[in-house]
Structure 1
Amino acid sequence: MFRATDVVMIGLMVGAAAFTYKTKHDAENQFDQLRKVESEIRYEEDTISILKADWSLLTQPGRLQRLVENYDAELKLVTVEPQQIVTVDAVPLKPVGEPDPLEDAIAKMIEKTDKTVTGGITR
């Protein structure tokens, strides 16, 4: 008949087989998920390349010029005159007012000193 060691060995073999099956099943599931993500990435890359092609077609200077000429009455676009562009010196300075509360909080944190003495600090 069966001895106790035989029963234990059979139990270990069944457990090892179950563990092997579960591990294989989990690995296959992970591989399926990986293939799905890779296919989604390929789809997105294809979509991006199509959108880039569309963008390059839509922003061709000749096409834009034709659109401007066709819709000139509605858009009333005019050429930028040199007088419209100013230098940095012509831009007004920021008005003097209350100080920025965030700036004050940062300054207070910088001024704080830690009174805790640790083993790495000698006084």
Structure 2
Amino acid sequence: MFRTSDIVLIAVMVSAAAMTYKIKREAEEQRAQVHYLQAQIRTEEDTIDLLKADWSLLTQPARLQKLADIYKAQLNLEPVDGHQFVTLDDLPARPVTIEELTADGSGGAADAQPDQTITGAVR
């Protein structure tokens, strides 16, 4: 009837079919996860766009001027006078920063190069 090799080959075929099914199921789960994350990213990008639009609306100079006029008395707002400006000598000394204290060499933080890392925050 069945030889040992036939039984072994049938077992190999069944295990290969089970493995294929398992891998296919895991791939479908991963694809569903990717689609979920892409939808979430789209939602976050839409939210960011909406917040940027709100910020633009809220910071319009005409709107801010109107609010300043309305709340002028409550906030004690006054126009800037020329005598309010001071020279650099009248300003208090700048406090020492941790960068200046920990900098090597005599130049301090002035010798350090600015960070040239480009981020996506500024366009």
Whether TM exceeds 0.5 here: the answer is yes
> 1:99 matched to which residue of 2?
none
Equivalenced residue count is 100
Q: 1:73 maps to which residue? A: 73
Give the Å deviation of 1:79. Answer: 3.4
Counterpart residue identity of residue 6, structure 1: D
Secondary structure of residue in 1 paired with 2:7? helix
Which aligned segments of 4 or more residues in structure 1 are displaced greater than 2 angstroms? 78-95
Q: Does 1:34 align with 2:34?
A: yes
Alignment-derived partner of residue 47 in structure 2: 47
TM-score by length of 1: 0.69
SS of the residue 2:79 aligns to: coil
Root-mean-square deviation (CA), in Å? 2.4
Residue 57 of structure 1: aligned partner: 57
| Structure number with larger C-alpha Rg | 1
Distance 1:20 1:85, change over 3 A: farther
| One-letter amino acid of the structure 1 residue matched with residue 27 of structure 2 | A
Unaligned runs of at least 5 residues, structure 1: 96-101, 107-123
Can you give the 5+ residue segments of structure 2 that lack an aligned partner in the other structure? 96-100, 105-123
Return the letter of the residue paired with 2:78. V
Percent of aligned positions that are identical:
54
